[in-house]
């Protein structure tokens, strides 16, 4: 029986990955030069498939890094001189904040308790910071910020740059890119790919900002400054020898997703999330960790319960060859996190819902 990884990242490989790996070996994807036309074609294909899948406007650029973690660092280095503002509602938005502190920025933080979202008046609060950082989907707590609420940040702060962490939600959200200036994700979550690759999307305002900082003699980094990444991306290259296999696989899976249709993927995600939340609502043992419905993540469903019950349920799932994620950090034993990514079938999600119902 096939093992299903419903863990929130790394997660189950997209079902087409093994075939694409075979083709990659046959086509010598790992052996050709990263400066060859053949590899430029691969980078171009991946870029174009992602642009289509995410409906990225032409004034936004797309480059590759080694992880989303790296992008936290590059964003702070390249898009702020002194001040950043962080909307924190879990461990990952908190780490983004930590990076700004480590890089010596004057940081402001608005913190809500675990498993809670931001009220609209908080998002609509004016900030004097150059850069406002928020996380669309907090993988640690299962809180998803509604896109219409994210728009309030931009509306109130037209002069600040707005950075959106989409690590565990892209390509699910139908993001209106005009509401943000930069967004990013890694590939081992919803894309179902081997870890080791980050995608950084940014607009012309970000380029102007980075160039302004450079003029002011600020050090932006070395090979992975925004201008260096951008310049290389124009030739469909990267400054360093990149994770070529990762870029190839991402293009193939994005193409598969485009063929399936992003609307279908979104509808299926909503359907599968609804299955789980319905059972959690009915359950006498577990409950959705996020009480307010409009903040509930569609891609990482988090359930709360007694530690003993969580342990038993994870073991039960495991006996059915289904691996469900434990809670994160403080909630390690009292929560469980069920990834609901495009590769996870309706059947396996129905199975988990059935296990919840009969538990």
Decide: helix, strand or coil at residue 284. Answer: coil
Q: How far is the CB of 120 from its own copies (least distance, A)?
A: 31
- Residue indicated by tokens 């896109």: 147
Which of the ranges 17-25, 55-63, 106-114, 253-261 carries the binding residues for its own copies, by CB under 8 A?
17-25
Q: With contacts defined by CB under 8 A, how many residues of the chain interact with its own copies?
A: 50
Q: For its own copies, which residue of 16, 34, 176, 283 counts as binding (CB under 8 A)?
A: 34
Query: Residue 239, interface with its own copies (CB under 8 A)?
Result: yes
Binding mask of the shown chain, residues 53 to 92, with x at each position contacting its own copies by CB under 8 A: -------------xx-xx-xx--x----------------
Q: How far apart are CA 12 and CA 99, in angstroms?
A: 29
Q: What are phi and psi of 302, to 5 degrees?
A: -110, 130
Binding range to its own copies, per CB under 8 A, among 30-38, 79-87, 144-152, 301-309: 30-38
Whether the CB-CB separation of 334 and 291 falls below 8 Å is answered with no
Residue span 102-121 as binding mask against its own copies, x where in contact by CB under 8 A, dash where not: xxx-----------------
DSSP characters over 158-196: TTSEEEEE-TTTTTSS---GGG-SEEEEESSSTT---SS
Q: Measure the CA–CA gap between 105 and 108, rounded to whole angstroms.
A: 9
Quickly count: other Cβ atoms within 10 Å of residue 227's Cβ. 15
257 and 342 Cβ atoms separated by less than 8 Å: yes
Q: Which is nearer to its own copies, 17 or 353 (CB)?
A: 17
Q: By CB under 8 A, is residue 3 in contact with its own copies?
A: yes
**In what order do the strands lie in the sheet containing 335-339?**
4-6, 322-326, 335-339, 300-304, 287-288
What is the nearest approach in angstroms of its own copies to the Cβ of residue 326? 9
184 is a contact residue toward its own copies (CB under 8 A):
no
Return d(Cα 68, Cα 65) in angstroms, integer.
8
Q: Which is nearer to its own copies, 6 or 153 (CB)?
A: 6
The answer to whether residues 239 and 227 touch, using CB atoms and an 8 Å cutoff, is no
> Please, which residues have CB within 8 angstroms of residue 131's CB and are 6 or more apart in sequence?
75, 76, 79, 80, 83, 84, 85, 160, 161, 163
Which residue, 112 or 331, is less far from its own copies as judged by CB?
A: 331
Is 272 or 344 the residue whose CB approaches its own copies more closely?
A: 344
What CA–CA distance (Å, rounded) separates 49 from 313?
39
Give exposure, 88-109, as e/b (b: 16+ Cβ within 10 Å): bbbbbbbebbebbeeeebebbe
Smallest distance from the beta carbon of 337 to its own copies, in angstroms?
A: 11
Whole-number minimum distance, CB 240 to its own copies, in Å? 4
Q: Decide: is 304 part of the binding site for its own copies (CB under 8 A).
A: no
Minimum CB separation of residue 125 from its own copies in Å reads: 26
**Closest separation in Å from C-beta 194 to its own copies:** 4
Contact residues for 228 (Cβ-Cβ < 8 A; gap 6+): 221, 222, 239
Residue 7 in contact with its own copies, rule: CB under 8 A: yes
Q: Does 1 bind its own copies (CB under 8 A)?
A: no
Stretch that binds its own copies, among 22-30, 85-93, 287-295, 301-309 (CB under 8 A): 22-30
Window 310-339: residues binding its own copies (CB under 8 A)? 325
Helix (H, G, I), strand (E, B) or coil at 271: helix
Smallest separation (angstroms) from its own copies to the CB of 44: 18
Residues lying near its own copies in the complex (CB under 8 A) are found at 3, 5, 7, 9-13, 18, 21, 25, 28, 30-34, 66-67, 69-70, 72-73, 76, 98-99, 102-104, 186, 188, 193-197, 219, 221-224, 239-246, 325
């Amino acid at each position: 029986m096939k093992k299903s990884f419903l863990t929130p990242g790394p997660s189950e490989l997209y079902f087409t990955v093994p075939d694409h790996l075979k083709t990659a070996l046959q086509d010598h994807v790992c052996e050709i030069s990263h400066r060859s036309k053949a590899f430029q074609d691969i980078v171009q294909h991946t870029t174009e498939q992602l642009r289509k899948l995410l409906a990225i406007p032409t004034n936004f650029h797309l480059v590759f890094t080694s992880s989303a973690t790296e992008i936290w660092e590059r964003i702070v280095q390249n898009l702020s001189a002194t001040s950043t503002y962080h909307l924190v509602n879990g461990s990952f938005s908190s780490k983004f904040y930590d990076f700004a502190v480590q890089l010596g920025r004057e940081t402001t933080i608005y913190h809500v308790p675990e498993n809670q979202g931001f009220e609209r008046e908080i998002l609509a609060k004016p900030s004097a910071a150059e850069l406002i950082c928020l996380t669309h989907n907090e993988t640690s707590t299962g809180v998803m910020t509604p896109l219409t609420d994210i728009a309030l940040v931009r509306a109130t702060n037209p002069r600040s740059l707005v950075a959106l962490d989409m690590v565990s939600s892209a390509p699910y959200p139908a993001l209106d890119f005009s509401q943000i200036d930069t967004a990013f994700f890694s590939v081992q979550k919803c894309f179902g790919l081997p870890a080791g690759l980050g995608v950084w999307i940014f607009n012309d305002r970000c380029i102007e900002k980075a160039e302004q900082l450079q003029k002011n003699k600020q050090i932006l980094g070395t090979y992975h400054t925004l201008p260096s990444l951008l310049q290389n991306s124009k030739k469909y290259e990267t400054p360093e020898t990149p994770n070529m296999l990762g870029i190839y696989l991402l293009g193939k899976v994005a193409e598969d997703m485009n063929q399936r249709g992003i609307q279908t993927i979104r509808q299926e995600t909503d359907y599968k999330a609804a299955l789980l939340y319905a059972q959690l609502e009915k359950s006498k043992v577990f409950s959705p960790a996020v009480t307010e419905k409009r903040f509930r993540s569609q891609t990482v469903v988090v359930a709360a319960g007694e530690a003993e019950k969580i342990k038993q349920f994870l073991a039960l799932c495991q006996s059915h060859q289904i691996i469900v994620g434990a809670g994160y950090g403080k909630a390690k034993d009292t929560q469980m996190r069920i990834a609901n990514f495009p590769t996870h079938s309706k059947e396996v999600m129905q199975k988990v819902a059935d296990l919840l119902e009969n538990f």
